[in-house]
Structure 1
Amino acid sequence: MTKDKWQNELQMIKNNRFIDRLTNYGSRVALQIGTKSYCYQELMTLAAEQAKAFESTSEIIWIETEDPLAFTISFLAVQLSGNFPMIGGNDQEIELQSLQITRTPFFIGLTSGTTGGAKVYYRDWKSWETGFKHIHQLFNFEQLEMIMTSSPLTTSLGLHTLCLALYLGKTFMKIDDVAILKMVDVPTTLFTVPTFLLKQIDMLTVSPHLKSVIFGGGQLSVHMLAQLRPKLKTVELIEFYGSSETSFISFQSLKHGKTDLSVGHLFPEVKIAIDNHHTLTVKSPYLFGGYLSSTKSSQPKQWVVDDLVAYESGRLYLLGRQSDMIDHAGNKVSPHDIEDIAKAYCQACVAFGVADPLYGQAIALLMVDPSHKSVLQKHLAQALPKYKWPQIYLRTEHIPLTKEMKLSRTQLATAYEKGEFDAF
């Protein structure tokens, strides 16, 4: 491409700080797709060509593709055209025409729906840019050449990793198989969730060029870390805690192991308040722009998180989710109390509430490869008060996860109501 043509393409770029930054990286490799690479100049040219197809501006354009190249080009093209990209699965049945835009977003997203129905939200550019600057310093990203993720780009973690890589002028790569990790030949970090590596742990071998793995999307347990550590001896392991609405809340290095329930120290500029019921309120520059609805949308100054937490000696501890609590006969039951006992009698287990006309919610216990039900029931009876005993015992070959590789007790309850699990 001639210099003049490249400059003409740049004229299409509007007042967008993210896009402007990408144009400065020129011949650096932006995307690695299998054996083929695309430099930043190629990427911006492809996006500019696609942007010409949009006839209107200030409209929501839903990006549904999971293909990394097509997704990235579409995301950039929608922004170049003056429209607003929306990410998320098309199974949510969101009516775009009903969404009223009251300000200019960086993108519009869908929450994962692990605590109920998915919600449509704003994310502005400044909130992510502020976080990107801190991540670059805290996690020593100056040395890196490549940033990977295993999360779908239509999720908050996946898109966050893509935009972070592009913002820093690094090479981005989306992976679906851990086998890629042993072939890494440049300094690299991986953003992932623990279940991605654990599901393929027998095949997990990593290159010495994999410098760090950053876990998000769900709490990493002490047991999970013990399984992963032998496979990642030379890799720096980091865990962060946050959500679509809050972005980063806390983080911790796992170099010296992990304290049970701990999610580390507060991320820079994050302020928190915790009430007597362990409800967490977050105030930070990384908050989202609010939910969209057909009637109104407001910019939150702080956010009440669904999780129950404690804060001691400068560390945040995750006690559970409010939405996970089972409302059984007027009692609030933590599923973790049941799971801590039941896990000795199966490969994996999850307790959750299901609708019940007498108790409000009955307690269901779903197990993988369960054994000795009578012994388990005796142990539960000895360790827990009667109102915490499960009324429903179920078996499954594996615990279903969302496409973001998260556990959703709400979705498990729906699956139970559809008869997808066998009684045990």
Structure 2
Amino acid sequence: MPRQPDPLARPLDHLAELAGSAGHGERPALVLRERTLNHNQLRQRVAVLAGWLAQMVPEKGARVASWAAKGELTCILPLAAARAGLVHVPVNPLLKRAQAAHILADSGAKLLIGTGSRLASLEPGDLPAGCAALGEGEALAAADAAALALGPSQADPADLAAILYTSGSTGKPKGVMLSHANMWLGAVSVADYLGLAADDVTLAVLPLSFDYGQNQLLSTWYAGGCVVPLDFLFPKDVAKACAKHGVTTLAAVPPLWVQLTEIDWPEEARAPLRRLTNSGGALTVDLVRSLRGMFPQAQLFPMYGLTEAFRSTYLDPELVDSHATSMGKAIPFAEILVMDDAGNVAADNEEGELVHCGPLVAQGYWQDPVRTAERFKPAPSASTYGGIAVWSGDRVRRDADGLLYFAGRRDAMIKSAGNRISPQEIEDAAIATGLAAEAVALGVADARLGQAVHLVVRGIEDEAARAELPRLLQRELPNFMQPQHIHWRNAMPLNPNGKIDRTALQVELDKEFAQ
């Protein structure tokens, strides 16, 4: 598919060189549990890991997967793999064995580096043929022993750099293909509109397997700043880390913001914060008020994005109080059009589909031309970028001032706690237990999660056997996919075509659990 070239794009691994060339080499870049790396040391670590990877997996364009918590490996691998001419496939550490095995097989990974306990959970046949598996400590030690440092690559910015797996409304997760240019320009864009600087400290609480999470690293390093990766158990851990490290930038999703507004924040945790950023779901007016009240000195950046185009819009912090429910306007390097059902640019205040054009648009879905063709299409004639655009499936409207407002989704995706969840993946897991003849997973509005997962099941009537279903789902699905409620039915409602009437079930649950 034709790509939109951009003269500002560079090979992704060049991010490791920027701070040194700008005179910030001695500034802290990455705060690990055992030590802190400055930017010069970060550059060296990227070079050494890249040299070892190139030796381990000499085939250019081969996929290297990671399945581990935040640490040195998961933070530097995106740049090291890019420098070695490889494609990084980060696996969400929250996923269970079955989901990880699907990603490894679908991507055709040649190397998996992960936490020992996660690797131990894999069963025979989970690794693709020819795929090696190493513990993260073993891999880093091997890289140090090899001492084969690679200098900055001369990769074509249009080359594939990463495959990020995201749930779709149907079926297994699909891999979104991101080029060096996609990720480089995403870092430049976010650093620009957030106003990141070399003295900024970003607390990376979001999973590094998501584009929003990875950009915490890339945009901060582009600006010469410092990243503190954190895997936390309790919201108070976030506040403690903010106080300890003088955090200036905190990114989260709405359910986490709710939890963070329910704890006490000491002044030493609040005072350094300069900016709060939100994506993965809309902020409510009440939540905006809470955040503005707790952190009056910090700018609040509500944002909207989709993995297929990284990020699309942000709301100027100056407008947050007066336009709290707006998605804002296009970020740098993005062109956002609202298209009506007739294929024309929608009029002001008319609902239409959000279409994202420009060099942040991904390269499609990995080895899935059918689904790629459904979402990635030629840009509308009104586009100034042209090329291929991503048709989001999200319904929005644009007011007379150009501000965008979310209206709803066209598909059946569930968005819970900032995660995009495939209903079919939950339904398939329920049916595979043998306890459900039919299953329907739906998202129901929830004040803390955005949407809670509800599972409607027709199956056996034995109460003891029914009690097994949650336990079996707990074994097969990650925590964020677990149903909050399971509803057993003797029969499912049917529509005129004889199919399960999902709309009727949705209306029934929405009414029953109305807030």
How far 1:275 moved relative to its partner? 0.9
How far 1:28 moved relative to its partner? 2.2
How far 1:215 moved relative to its partner? 0.8
Alignment partner of 1:225 is 2:288:
yes
- SS of residue in 1 equivalent to 2:73: helix
Structure 2 unaligned regions, length at least 5: 1-10, 110-157, 342-350, 378-387, 415-441, 458-491, 496-500
Could you give the per-residue CA deviations for residues 243-291 of structure 1, whole angstroms, max 9, x where no partner exists? 1111221111345525364211222341313214622222122111211
Find the partner of 2:18 among 21, 25, 28.
21
Matches within 5 A, 1:311-390: 311-313=398-400, 314-324=402-412, 356=492, 358-359=494-495, 360-361=501-502, 363-364=504-505, 388-390=507-509
In 2, Cα distance between equivalents of 1:164 and 1:347: 27
Could you give the per-residue CA deviations for residues 288-347 of structure 1, whole angstroms, max 9, x where no partner exists? 121111668788610110211111121111011112499xxxxxxxx99x95xx98xx99
How far 1:165 moved relative to its partner? 1.4
Contact 1:204 1:231 in 2 (8 A): no
Against the structure 1 CA distance between its residues 285 and 78, is the aligned structure 2 distance closer, same or farther, given a 3 Å change threshold? closer
Contact 1:149 1:173 in 2 (8 A): yes
Contact 2:16 2:39 in 1 (8 A): no
How far 1:207 moved relative to its partner? 2.8
How far 1:159 moved relative to its partner? 0.7
Against the structure 1 CA distance between its residues 288 and 351, is the aligned structure 2 distance closer, same or farther, given a 3 Å change threshold? same
Against the structure 1 CA distance between its residues 167 and 127, is the aligned structure 2 distance closer, same or farther, given a 3 Å change threshold? same
How far 1:92 moved relative to its partner? 4.2
Contact 1:238 1:252 in 2 (8 A): yes
In 1, Cα distance between equivalents of 2:31 and 2:288: 29
Contact 1:181 1:207 in 2 (8 A): no
Q: What is the match of residue 335 of structure 2?
A: 270
Against the structure 1 CA distance between its residues 112 and 149, is the aligned structure 2 distance closer, same or farther, given a 3 Å change threshold? farther
Contact 1:109 1:120 in 2 (8 A): yes
In 2, Cα distance between equivalents of 1:204 and 1:174: 22
What root-mean-square deviation, in Å, do the aligned CA atoms of Structure 1 and Structure 2 show? Answer: 3.8
Contact 1:30 1:40 in 2 (8 A): yes
Q: What is the match of residue 321 of structure 2?
A: 257
Q: What is the match of residue 161 of structure 1?
A: 216
Q: What is the match of residue 148 of structure 1?
A: 203
- SS of residue in 2 equivalent to 1:285: coil
Contact 1:92 1:118 in 2 (8 A): no
In 2, Cα distance between equivalents of 1:127 and 1:305: 17
Contact 2:201 2:245 in 1 (8 A): no
Against the structure 1 CA distance between its residues 263 and 271, is the aligned structure 2 distance closer, same or farther, given a 3 Å change threshold? closer
Contact 1:264 1:316 in 2 (8 A): yes
| Count of aligned positions | 348
How far 1:41 moved relative to its partner? 2.5
- How high is the TM-score relative to the length of structure 2? 0.58
How far 1:153 moved relative to its partner? 1.1
The percentage of aligned residue pairs carrying the same residue is 19
How far 1:202 moved relative to its partner? 3.0
| Greater relative CO (CA pairs within 8 A, separation 6+) | 2
- SS of residue in 1 equivalent to 2:79: helix
Against the structure 1 CA distance between its residues 83 and 23, is the aligned structure 2 distance closer, same or farther, given a 3 Å change threshold? farther
In 2, Cα distance between equivalents of 1:130 and 1:45: 23
Q: What is the match of residue 145 of structure 2?
A: none
Matches within 5 A, 1:86-235: 86-89=89-92, 91-94=99-102, 96=104, 99=107, 104-113=159-168, 117-142=172-197, 144-175=199-230, 176=232, 177-180=237-240, 182-183=242-243, 186=246, 188-205=248-265, 206-235=269-298
How far 1:135 moved relative to its partner? 2.8
- SS of residue in 2 equivalent to 1:323: coil
Matches within 5 A, 1:55-66: 55=56, 56-58=58-60, 59-66=62-69
Against the structure 1 CA distance between its residues 29 and 126, is the aligned structure 2 distance closer, same or farther, given a 3 Å change threshold? same
Against the structure 1 CA distance between its residues 323 and 141, is the aligned structure 2 distance closer, same or farther, given a 3 Å change threshold? same
- SS of residue in 2 equivalent to 1:248: coil
Find the partner of 2:362 among 288, 291, 302.
288
Contact 1:30 1:171 in 2 (8 A): yes
Contact 1:266 1:316 in 2 (8 A): no
- SS of residue in 1 equivalent to 2:183: helix
